[in-house]
Structure formats: structure tokens, C-alpha cells
Structure 1
Amino acid sequence: ASFQRCLEHGVNRCELDLHLSRDGELMVIHDPTLKRTTGRRGKVAEHDAATLVTYDAREGGPGWVRPTPIPRLEELFEKCPFEHWQLEVKSASRERAARTVTRIRELTERFGNRDKVTVTSGSRTVLKALNELTPELSRGLVAEYAWLDPLKVAQHYGCALLALNWTLCTPERLL
């Protein structure tokens, strides 16, 4: 519902977070666990997509009048003609990162929107999987901490986008 509302109000670019369901579907949900948004126990990865789409994700957020299910990325690609998609993949094991980026590639090929997608992550494991398995996809670094030089990391992984936490936007870093 919120993605449709964005389009209705002229917002044509979006950022969203992805997690794989147990059966390998890309689910649009910020947290790896269900508690904060749905009030349910467990991790997204422990549930099949068919079950996840039945959960109401209004818990703890602003008051949506109607139930808000957890969407599949595939459903959003079908229904929401955004000009650009920033798909954030949180940290993951090598195996999970590989499955996630491969699934993103499959969906972008199927929907013909590869040029409208940038896959972002703060995880070097995910960025490495993007480079090795899906080099045709645009990628970006989400840098929230100053433990490494974000510009060097972004360049190392061939990132076209750099999303810096505001605390990292210092004159020393940016000038």
C-alpha cells in the first residue's frame, strides 16, 4: 500500500530492504525478524512466502487503516512502475548472499528492469557476491560506520552509489 501511495504522490524512486523467505522468495521487510513489524515470532528466513504475505505488518508503525501484508519483490515489480529501485540487502552468509543476488538478477531479467535497479548493502559479503555472480547489476555501498574508508570500499566493489550515514559526512571525508 505504501509503495502505491508513493506513486500516487509523484514519488517515482524507492529504497526498500529485502530478506529471503525459507522458500527463496525475496520479501520486502526491513528487519530479519518479524516481531517489530508483525508482532510474530521468528525470522523471515524461517517462513515460506505464502505464509509471510498473510502477516499484517502494521505493528508499531503509523496507523494504516487497512491490513498491510509483507510484499514479495516480484509483486512490487508487477504493480509499481518506479523509475528506479534501490534494493538493500542486509548482511548475509556467503550462501545466502549468493542466493539473494541471484534471485534479484532473475527477477530483473524477467521484468526487464535491470537498468532501473541498484542493489545496495553494507555487507562486503553481499557486495562480493554481486561482483562475482551478478556483475551486470548496479551496486552501492551503505556505509553506517567509520571503521573503513567508505570511498575506498565503494571503489573496490565498483559501486555506483554511496549511501553515507550523516555522521560520516565530514569535511575530511568529503573534500
Structure 2
Amino acid sequence: MVSRRSILLSLLLAPLAACSSKFKTYNGPEVTRVVVYKGRRKMYLLHHDQVLKAYDIDLGFAPEGHKQFEGDGRTPEGDYTIDRRNPNSKFHLSVGISYPNARDVEVARALGKSPGGDIFIHGQPNAFKPKGRDWTWGCISVKNHEIEDIYAMVNDGTVISIYP
């Protein structure tokens, strides 16, 4: 037989369990564009010209310049789109960036290299804790609670502009 105390405890704990999910919902204005300023280490989610959210970011371990080939540690620069999401990311959650585009492939091939891919906005690693700034292989990293918001707010097809 279930005691009254057990039922009350369950009712009190249920809202806390719901809050612990990494999958949030968002009902605000549509994010129409994501803007990243690599030099400032800032990312903004915009509704047209209105900033909805701003984030401090970490970048690839070689943050200066545009990504040219796989393994160079650089974060791409230019206009791309958010094109996929990974709910089972090794970095909490992640949303994909459409790198490489045709020009990126052309530049890498001219260097005799692969352009690489798998560039994401993601949270912190599940397996290790990064030391210092700019530790990714070319991705854009935010805190885990921030990627939860980004994952909920930014739809596939949203333009992302990445500036030096």
C-alpha cells in the first residue's frame, strides 16, 4: 500500500525531474539569424535586428583566419546555415553548421587537402573538461545550459554569419 507521504513526496519531486531535461521548449520570437564575432568571442541570436540572446564562446584551437582544411583547428568564416542537430552529441547537445560550401571545398582541394566538416555549435564535452580558451577542432562552444537554449531556439535553415 502506498502511503500518503510517498504520494506527496512524488508530487513534490515531479517538477524537479522535469526541469532536469536538456530538451527545452521556446515560444518567443523566431531566431532569424545567428551572428558570430570570432575576435570578440561573442555569438548573438537575432530576430531581424533585435538581439534575443548573447553568448561568450570558445573557438577552434587556432582561432585566427578562415578554416582551410581538416585538422587546421580554425573556425570557418562566412555565411552558412544551421543544417542539422545532434541530441546525442559527445558535447551535451549540438547544432550543425553547413561547412564546407563549394568554395571551401575548392580551396582545400587546391591545397591538396580535405576541407573537413562536422562543424557545430555545441556544449561542453561529456568525457573531459577543456583547459583554457579555444580548445575545439573548429567548432563554436558554449556552456551546456546555453546550448540547451540554442538547441530549442534555432531552427534548421537559420543563417549563421561568422566574422573574423
Q: TM-score, structure 1 length as denominator?
A: 0.23
Task: Report the structure number with the largest CA radius of gyration.
Answer: 2
Report which structure shows greater RCO (CA 8 Å, sep ≥6): 2
Return the structure number with greater strand share.
2
Return the structure number with greater helix share.
1
Q: TM-score, structure 2 length as denominator?
A: 0.24
